[in-house]
Amino acid sequence: MKIPLSRPDISQDEIKMVNKVLKTPFLSIGPMVQEFERNFAKFTGAKYAAAVSSGTAGLHLALRALNIGPGDEVITSPFSFIASANSILFQNAVPVFVDIDPVSWNIDPLKIEKAISPRTKAILPVHVFGQPCEMEAIMSIAKKHNLYVIEDACESFGAIYEDKHSGTIGDIGVFGFYPNKQITTGEGGMVITNNRELLYNVMSLRNQGRPVEGGKWLEHTQLGYNYRLDEMSAALGIAQLRRAKKILQMRQDIADLYKESIDNIEGIEILPDLPGTLRSWFVYVVKLASDVKRADVIAKLTKRGIDTGTYFPCIHLQPFYKQKFGYKEGSFPVAEQISRSTLALPFHNKLTRKEINFIADTLISILER
């Protein structure tokens, strides 16, 4: 048996939609992007949505649109995909890391205030593995210190915090649609906000700094980028979004199956359900007990055809962060401990009960002492 870590789920509807675009003269800046944005805003409950070429591009534009610039500090999590901190560096601002909570694996609100300085402009919480951050605490700190909140919701499409969709609580929220995310457009992303001025700024910046209304095609009112989403990708997104409720339920069902089959294996801890939040399953990550050698488990699973991932190496320990900021092992002990002991198991919409049973049986045979 060969079980991949991830795999996209593309139906006939997606194929039809992309084909439809290819038969029109509009491969970029056309009706599909607008429809995808409208539908995405509706799904999340945000007032406005702007499609972009990737989640990373969306994060960059969110920071740029909020005028975060050289020397400004942005508080964020060291336990994330590198793009969340890199987007801060793109603006020559400084990522200030705050350690994570050992249960949610998200930024620990109790440690945020100590990291605030006169240069702090924003908090950039990441809803890691689809688990919403403690937004009430984060928003109240932000309000008290007059900071913006940029939600990195790239892993949390479909996740709910106190009846609100992730990404709709801060000033601006960003989603990514890389093929391993809950819904995909190949490459692509979405920025959502309730602030019209911010929306217009993001729309201008993604389109080479052209004004959103009026202006001539080759007139640029500010330094912008080409961070547009093309029409084929948007069409794919529209079709994925139509199936989103079903996709999210399939992922929940698979997570439930995993829970049933591996919850009792000694040496493995599964992610808990946290009150007031609905996790949206992005990847299936488990925590190994401290006496289990992760490299051995990975090698043995690989030998039996089961792919795994080590999400995430801490951002502050990435080579160029160490070099630039002088971080060392021990800078953020909770994040480092979680990072060392986590293991991502295969997770995608089409994973079967048989495959999950095989993974569970293999884990039992590896971990039994």
Ligand X SMILES: *Cc1c(COP(=O)(O)O)cnc(C)c1O
CB of 55 or CB of 267, closer to ligand X: 55
CB of 185 or CB of 261, closer to ligand X: 185
Residue 236 C-beta: closest distance to ligand X, Å: 14
Residue 289 C-beta: closest distance to ligand X, Å: 26
What is the spatial distance between Cα 340 and Cα 314, in angstroms, rounded to a whole number?
9
Which of 199, 153, 189 has its CA nearest to residue 47?
Answer: 199
Question: What one-character-per-residue DSSP string does 99-165 give?
Answer: PBPTTT-SB-GGGTGGG--TTEEEEE-B-GGG----HHHHHHHHHHHT-EEEEE-TT-TT-EETTEE
Residue 312 C-beta: closest distance to ligand X, Å: 8
Residue number, nearest CB to ligand X: 55
CB of 94 or CB of 126, closer to ligand X: 126
Beta bridge partners of 164: 161
CB of 65 or CB of 268, closer to ligand X: 65
Residues that bind ligand X (CB under 6 A): 54-56, 80-81, 83-84, 126, 152, 154-155, 176, 178, 189
Residue 62 C-beta: closest distance to ligand X, Å: 11
CB of 157 or CB of 358, closer to ligand X: 157
Q: For tokens 């890199």, what's the residue?
A: 86
Residue 82 C-beta: closest distance to ligand X, Å: 8
CB of 85 or CB of 297, closer to ligand X: 85
What is the spatial distance between Cα 169 and Cα 152, in angstroms, rounded to a whole number?
11
User: How many Cα atoms are found within 13 Å in the side-chain-facing hemisphere of 161?
Assistant: 20
Mention every residue, 6+ apart, whose C-beta is less than 8 A from residue 53: 187, 188, 189, 206, 226, 227, 228, 229
Residue 284 C-beta: closest distance to ligand X, Å: 15
Report CA 146 to chain centroid distance, whole Å.
25
